[in-house]
């Protein structure tokens, strides 16, 4: 069975970039212990766009859905700010892309002779 990749495309205004990155850093480790989780990357745009990509890879669609239904809700629950208010979202938009891994490779092992 092939892994599945989920890419959450987040539209983030320039003034909110640091906020978004700090929020992801604060919840580091919240997905790694999930059953079927394989990889995570937060990708910051370098030029021409205000969209961040949140890349996760899962053993199966069922594993991703189980995470969405369970621990994801706690990881994405906004922490209360000062005065008990919930902070506004850093992103102004979000789209989820789904892919199945059909081919994958890594670096070749070097011949250290």
For the stretch 49-91, pLDDT in tens is: 999 999 999 999 999 999 999 876 655 555 555 556 677 889 9
For the stretch 8-50, pLDDT in tens is: 999 999 999 999 999 999 987 889 999 999 999 999 999 999 9
Distances (CA, A) of 37 to 3, 64, 95, 105, 107: 10, 8, 20, 18, 22
């Amino acid at each position: 069975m092939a892994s599945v990749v989920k890419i959450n495309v987040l539209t983030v205004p320039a003034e909110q970039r640091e906020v978004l990155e700090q929020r992801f850093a604060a919840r580091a480790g919240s997905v790694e212990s999930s059953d079927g989780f394989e990889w995570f990357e937060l990708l910051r745009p370098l030029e021409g766009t205000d969209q961040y990509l949140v890349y996760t890879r899962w053993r199966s669609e069922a594993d991703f859905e189980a995470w969405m239904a369970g621990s994801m809700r706690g990881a994405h629950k906004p922490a209360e700010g000062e005065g008990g208010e919930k902070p506004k979202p850093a992103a102004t938009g979000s789209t989820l892309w789904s892919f199945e891994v059909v081919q994958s490779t890594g670096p070749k092992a070097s011949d250290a002779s």
